[in-house]
Structure 1
């Protein structure tokens, strides 16, 4: 091959290599082609605090930092000895109230029987009076006895209503104490991973004291700050790609889930001092739950990285930002 031709081929290769290197550098340093916005951010998960509803002594904590927990799982308990005693007392009150109600019903049955007898006695007295065999005084006496029996029945019925109300009140006290006992067991409000233990067994805590902090690994976002020109064009659900500093070989899919309604100064750790002089909008990029479920064991918060957001829906993703995830477990 003639030397000039070889020289031209060599020059062309150098240009191509330089162009490719420049394109990679462009992606890594200067962002992506038109239609995209790039910003730095950190991975964050929704944080959930597990706190006490009542004050008391913390008797035990059943999990450690880093443990995976399920929704509804008991994580810690407060000392409930005093509440258990109150519950036993209330349950005894329910038994006593029910016995009193049974007595009232028995009294009602007795009074109704007496009323029935008084009605029959009055009927017989009236029949004898019509035949002239019973004086008017006897008939009046039987009427008075029947009226007294009716009043006794009404009183017994009122006593039953009062006894039933006492049973309901006693049972309500039992139900309340049982509900309070449930709250003495601190449960995970949702599935996640224990981030911090903020108290230890034996400590006396006030109502509302935090005991544990959980991270919801099904709700993970990267928070970034974008300039007005980019944030103003964003649509909710717009596609994004995340490249973490700890694993630059992977590209993680995400989507826009939040755009701040007001501009703000960008925090110092995100941009340079010169760029902080410009107002920026806070944007959250949420990683799909199905991706998080697949790689839950390796999801970590606080990891910094670079986010690329597609501002123009018609723009095509460059090949360097095609989704690439690790092999499934």
Structure 2
């Protein structure tokens, strides 16, 4: 398109209605610049389009995404969420407590078992203690009676038969006390009682371990992606509670157009553009083994839906800590290699 400036003002730029205008040359230049600016604005979409074609002919660009593998932390037992210690976006260390949980039924049963255990280890009951004291007093009196009878025999005031009777009474009281103590020992060491005590101890230990396990901790360092429960909420076994993203195992996927599959070979160099405009050197780790649709947040407004090759790449060095964000959009740029277009591999 060529603009011709052949109006009357162009033919006589220094004349305006028969009068000589001193500033006419400058006005003539402004007139030209105005038309060139209008022409530039009209042609800017075409200029942008052809510039994109030129860049695309030399560089292959593809959308990419940084993905942090997720750890799903679920409830292993029915419980009550008593306290939530983290929020989405918090960085956590290995062993850090995420949730405090409780089970009131288990706690009540544990208190019952502890009470039974304390009763079993307590001193003898008053009734048993009283009976033992009575038997001991009877044995003491029978022993005193035997000693008195023997003294009377030596003084001639009693007969030998009375001594034998006193000895028999003393032996009977001693046998009664011994029999009582044997029965008490058998009751304490009976197999049934020992089995019950052992079962109660095992149940108490199991409940203590289960209650301690209700305190959920982070298995490894990461970032909390989601907290799916609230304080005071009852959850069942297997309920998903928290998702933690593993920062140490960040994966970068490049969605490559199938027409550019030759650029998805292992070792292929490329560059990744971060949201702040910085570029990172990277390389392809392995050939694409699957195809998938482009995520919604990576699609262009007028892009046709299709399946793209998913190529995993690795950055040369470390990804900046501030950009370790799950589903972070990136831009991958491959250098154009004409030889790859004619490769039969």
TM range (shorter): 0.5 to 0.7
Does the 8 Å contact 2:76/2:238 carry over to 1? yes
Quick one: distance in 2 between partners of 1:274 and 1:97? 79
The superposition leaves residues 102-153 of structure 1 with CA deviations (integer Å, 9 ceiling, x where unpaired) of: xxxxxxxxxxxxxxxxxxxxxxxxxxxxxxxxxxxxxxxxxxxxxxxxxxxx
Does the 8 Å contact 1:74/1:186 carry over to 2? yes
Find the counterpart in structure 2 of residue 49 from structure 1.
72
Does the 8 Å contact 2:66/2:326 carry over to 1? yes
Quick one: distance in 2 between partners of 1:95 and 1:202? 33
Superposition RMSD in Å:
4.2
Find the counterpart in structure 2 of residue 71 from structure 1.
94
In the alignment, does 2:223 pair up with 1:196? no
Taking structure 1 as the reference length, the TM-score comes to 0.53
Find the counterpart in structure 2 of residue 173 from structure 1.
203
Assess, with a 3 A threshold, how the Cα gap between structure 1 residues 207 and 261 changes in structure 2: closer, same or farther: same
Unaligned runs of 5+ in 2: 1-47, 123-185, 341-345
Does the 8 Å contact 1:259/1:281 carry over to 2? no
Quick one: distance in 2 between partners of 1:232 and 1:175? 62
Taking structure 2 as the reference length, the TM-score comes to 0.51
1:217 positional shift: 1.6
In the TM superposition, 1:197-212 aligns within 5 A as: 197-212=227-242
Find the counterpart in structure 2 of residue 30 from structure 1.
56
Does the 8 Å contact 1:59/1:201 carry over to 2? yes
Find the counterpart in structure 2 of residue 221 from structure 1.
251
Unaligned runs of 5+ in 1: 1-21, 100-155, 316-329
Rg (Cα) greater in structure: 2
Quick one: distance in 1 between partners of 2:195 and 2:265? 59
Does the 8 Å contact 1:48/1:216 carry over to 2? yes
In the TM superposition, 1:30-179 aligns within 5 A as: 30=56, 38-90=61-113, 169-179=199-209
Assess, with a 3 A threshold, how the Cα gap between structure 1 residues 27 and 174 changes in structure 2: closer, same or farther: farther
Find the counterpart in structure 1 of residue 327 from structure 2.
302
Quick one: distance in 2 between partners of 1:186 and 1:256? 38
The superposition leaves residues 245-285 of structure 1 with CA deviations (integer Å, 9 ceiling, x where unpaired) of: x211x222445456553434445654569974664322233
